[in-house]
Amino acid sequence: GSIAVIMPAAGSGQRFGSQRNKLFATLAGKPLWFRSAERLAESPLVGRIVMPVSESDQPAFENEFSDLVARLRIEVVRGGAERYDSVRAGLAAIGDDSEVRWIAVHDAARPLVSAGDLAAVFAMASQTDAAILGAPVPGTIRREIRLSDGILRTETVDRRDLYVALTPQVFSAGLLQRAYQKHNGRPATDDAELVERIGHPVSIVRGSADNLKITYPEDLAVAEAIYARSTKNNDA
Ligand code: CTP
Ligand code: MG
């Protein structure tokens, strides 16, 4: 496979509120990070999976999870304080591997990406060098307008051209490496923004909103339901 995946897993899961990293919570009996990696490993295009983890979680990945790590041939590396520090550590681990033509960044906290959406965003990236999954914004969005009388008013935003950014975000390897070399530390919401800053447009592929990020404990029940449905569909 000519795609290397960086799967940042080095957060602490503050908003999830459990004692250990939220990524150790289970989905259908396996840890969330494993479910996320499994989806990626199933693609024949994926050749490497690099997973940045925090210093405090490293012993868990080397001991209790070592079999699961080995099963998917995951390369565990040390992440950093911010998500982009973790991605940068993943880039360093990939180095200038000549087999790697594209790099996909995928949150370890998104275990529900479908095989179809993965294939679609990989195909778009091979065409445009920069492609991400996005889901249409579900609700009505209103934007604040400030007049001098201090009363808060809003106007409708046309949501037909708005998307919620998801992962994977997939780039040609050289483009992502350059975007990170140029990054001056100014916070960015995602990898696509860093690529945009060096002047390269990012294409979007409409993906399923089922590809949610596990953020709060209540997200797990929803994820279990989506996961059960997706495995049932595969059996049928
Ligand atoms: N992540 C990372 N390195 C960091 C911060 C986050 O690799 N320094 C990873 C997380 O492990 C997660 C993904 O980036 O897989 C998306 O981040 P998020 O959902 O915000 O996870 P956490 O930062 O762990 O959660 P919280 O913000 O609630 O603390
Ligand atoms: Mg976070």
Binned average pLDDT, 10 residues per bin, the chain of 236 residues: 96 97 98 98 98 98 98 98 97 96 98 98 98 94 91 92 96 98 93 98 98 98 97 70
Say if residue 138 is exposed, middle or buried (CB neighbours under 10 Å; 0-12, 13-18, 19+).
exposed
Neighbour tally for 160: CB within 10 Å:
7
- Say yes or no: CB of residue 83 within 6 Å of ligand 1: yes
- Say yes or no: CB of residue 18 within 6 Å of ligand 1: no
Residue nearest to atom 23 of ligand 1 (CA): 11
C-alpha of residue 31 to centroid of ligand 1, in Å = 15
Q: In this predicted complex, what is the ipTM? A: 0.99
| 152-157 and 141-146 strand pairing | antiparallel
- Say yes or no: CB of residue 25 within 6 Å of ligand 1: no
C-alpha of residue 99 to centroid of ligand 2, in Å = 31
User: Are the C-beta atoms of residues 90 and 6 closer than 8 Å to each other?
Assistant: yes
Q: What is the pLDDT of residue 181?
A: 97
- Say yes or no: CB of residue 90 within 6 Å of ligand 1: no
Residue nearest to atom 19 of ligand 1 (CA): 215
Residue of 15, 83, 110, 219 with the most ligand 1 atoms within 8 Å of its CB, for mutation: 83
Answer yes or no: pTM beyond 0.90.
yes
